[in-house]
Amino acid sequence: MNYSYIIIDDDQESVLKTKAMADSFSELAFVASANSYDDGLNLILEHTPQLIFLEIDPSNKKSKLSLLLINELHRYLKIIPKIIVTTSKKDLAYEAIQYNVTDYILKPLARIDFVKSILKLNKFNADSATVIAQSYVLDERPTVAVQHETIATDKPLILCIKSYGDHRYIDARDICYLQADNNSTDIHLNGGEMITAFKTLKHFEAILSYPFVRIHNSYIVNARYISRIHTGNAVCFIKNNATKIPFSKSYKANIDLIISEISNGNYLEI
């Protein structure tokens, strides 16, 4: 999933470092930055980003940056952006938790902390998903309807490919990977079957969350089906399949996410 973000920090050098780190993740889209409470509030209300990187212990006290900014947002917004605190002090963490921030990252920023934060964001969005049905009609070509269920129901995500009254249902757990084919997408299933949907790969990237991860301009993979990742050759191997899928440098951060998520499970490295 993609997240637009704003950086609010009184130290411009720190702003640039945060942006440089965030820019290495394809999920994060920079909107703007601010160096003070008032400017930051105005930017948030104007652009309504999904994510804010916030310094709460500024070196310049005149900037007035603090957790109180979150309180102010509740006066104007029904939906508060996710807040990731970026600061050098550990002792403010407990107070930040009381404000329900999404994450607390200590400076100097480390890449693995960003990886973990993105995983938390993706997990939160998956856990809080409600039943959504989307159907699209375009020149009588087959269309895709997507049904999302909350995690608590333990029901799988079902994709319905509709064409001239025909409803083809696909359990998302059976999808190994998706491959772009001009303005259509080939959906490859674990039994070897391939189904074509007349939607772009970008469309599927927007509606599918982890374990579906974009790793190339032409590929989205289901991380559950990856059996091997060769970073030297920049390829992923699919379970019980001879298929090798390339990944590009621009999506290397997504490969890091997959590796991190796998290692967070019941995992033993030998």
Q: Which of 32, 46, 53 is nearest to 104 (CA)?
A: 53
Q: Are residues 110 and 143 in the same domain?
A: no
Please state the pTM of the whole predicted model. 0.52
For 18-77, what is each residue's pLDDT tens digit?
Answer: 999 998 888 899 999 999 999 999 999 999 999 999 999 999 999 999 999 998 998 888
| pLDDT for residue 144 | 60
For 121-133, what is each residue's pLDDT tens digit?
Answer: 887 776 655 333 3
Contact criterion met (CB below 8 Å) for 53 and 18: yes
The dihedral built from the CA positions of residue 81, 124, 186 and 245, taken in this order, carries a sign that is: positive
Q: How many domains does the chain have?
A: 2
Last residue of a domain, one of 91, 110, 127: 127
Q: How many alpha carbons lie under 13 Å from residue 260 in its C-beta half-sphere? A: 17
Does a cis peptide bond (omega within 30 degrees of 0) precede residue 81? no
For 199-232, what is each residue's pLDDT tens digit?
Answer: 899 888 888 888 899 999 999 999 999 999 999 9
- Residues 134-151, mean pLDDT to the nearest whole number: 45
Instruction: Encode 133-168: b = buried (16+ Cβ within 10 Å), e = exposed.
Output: eeeeeeeeebbbbbbbeeeeeeeebbbbbbeeeeee
Last residue of a domain, one of 85, 107, 127: 127
The answer to the question of residue 268 being in a domain is: no
Domain CATH code at residue 141: 2.40.50.1020
Contact criterion met (CB below 8 Å) for 159 and 168: no
The dihedral built from the CA positions of residue 262, 28, 220 and 236, taken in this order, carries a sign that is: negative
Cα 239 from Cα 224, distance rounded (Å): 9
Asked whether the predicted pLDDT for residue 98 surpasses 80, the reply is yes
Q: Are residues 122 and 148 in the same domain?
A: no
Contact criterion met (CB below 8 Å) for 246 and 233: no
Domain CATH code at residue 60: 3.40.50.2300
Task: State the amino acid at position 185 in one-letter form.
Answer: T
Residue 66 makes CB contacts below 8 A (sequence gap 6+) with: 37, 56
Asked whether the predicted pLDDT for residue 136 surpasses 80, the reply is no
